[in-house]
Amino acid sequence: MNKKKHRKITKDSVTSVLYPLLFGAVIVVLWQTQILHKILGTDTFVLPLPDRIFTIIGDNMGAIMENVKATVIVSLGGLILGSALGYLLGMIAMAFPKWGAGGLTVVSAFNAVPIIAIAPILNNLTKDFSEDANTRSMIAKTLVVTITCTVAMSINAFRGFTELKPFSLDLMKSYAANKATIFFKLRVPNSLPYVFTALRVSVPASIISALVSEYFAEYIIGVGRQIRENIVLAQYATAWAYIVVACAIGIVLYLILLFAEGILLKNRRPRWKSV
């Protein structure tokens, strides 16, 4: 029975990767053969062919990497700050349960505010932070990403701190464990899977919010800003090149997250023994 379950899990893991790859390959083939253009009713100027896009990426790798660097710094900076702040808020809500849930509801309201509305406001609020336009823009963009990533982490951290295994809290109390011991020995380890659940939401959100915030930034740098500038100039092939790069950034960061999760939570997964 265990062998059958193990084979099923392995098969599901393979198919979960294989099917998206096959779907992507089909889209690329339809795109390159211009069948996709006929379906969408467009031309190769608005929707350039993949080989043209990858040629532009190869020819402009230096400039592209500079913009990628700026976007990744903003994304990771906001992700780290937002996740740390969200974890702290979840901890405070756990420590003060009477108003903790209500406080998290208020925090969740920030998630309803569109990024396109937050970014211009923060750009104006950070104008006096530095005389350097690049520094001001980096601060504003990082704050946008921070706000985006805080909500998911705060809610999931609170759940991790409070949704304990049955009788585990009673067992710790029966050992006369104090609150600090219960927190570090029980609540923090229990929160780790919830933290990675939040990060699975926050990592893609951090990329998207970084790209959108770059649209309104004062300093012209970043993948999102290059997408906007090239669309305005009708340089659609270059804009698509940056769109592909943006997708690649998101995929790479998400794979890194899955790799880290597999290492840190490997002991929490069921171990299959051969019969």
Q: Which of these, 164, 165, 197, 167, lies nearest to 265 by C-alpha position? A: 197
For residue 174, the enclosing domain spans 67-268
**Does 38 share its domain with 73?**
no
Q: Are 227 and 36 in contact (CB under 8 A)?
A: no
**213/17 Cα distance (integer angstroms):** 31
Whether 54 is in a domain gets the answer no
**Does 112 share its domain with 244?**
yes
Whether 260 is in a domain gets the answer yes
Is 110 a residue whose pLDDT tops 60? yes
CATH number at residue 160: 1.10.3720.10
Distance of CA 72 to the CA centre of its chain: 11
Looking at residue 1, what is its pLDDT?
46
Q: How many domains does the chain have?
A: 2
DSSP for 206-250 reads HHHHHHHHHHS-SS--SHHHHHHHHHHTT-HHHHHHHHHHHHHHH
**Does 116 share its domain with 157?**
yes
Share of the chain above pLDDT 70, in %: 91
**Does 30 share its domain with 110?**
no
Looking at residue 156, what is its pLDDT?
93
pLDDT tens digits along 28-81: 899 899 998 898 888 888 889 999 999 999 999 999 999 999 999 999 999 999
pLDDT tens digits along 167-224: 887 788 778 778 888 888 888 999 999 999 999 999 999 999 999 998 888 778 889 9
**Does 103 share its domain with 16?**
no
Is 5 a residue whose pLDDT tops 70? no
Mean pLDDT of 227-240: 91
Mean pLDDT of 227-246: 92
**Does 6 share its domain with 107?**
no
Question: What is the pTM for the complete model shown?
Answer: 0.85
pLDDT tens digits along 154-175: 999 999 998 888 788 778 877 8
**Does 142 share its domain with 26?**
no
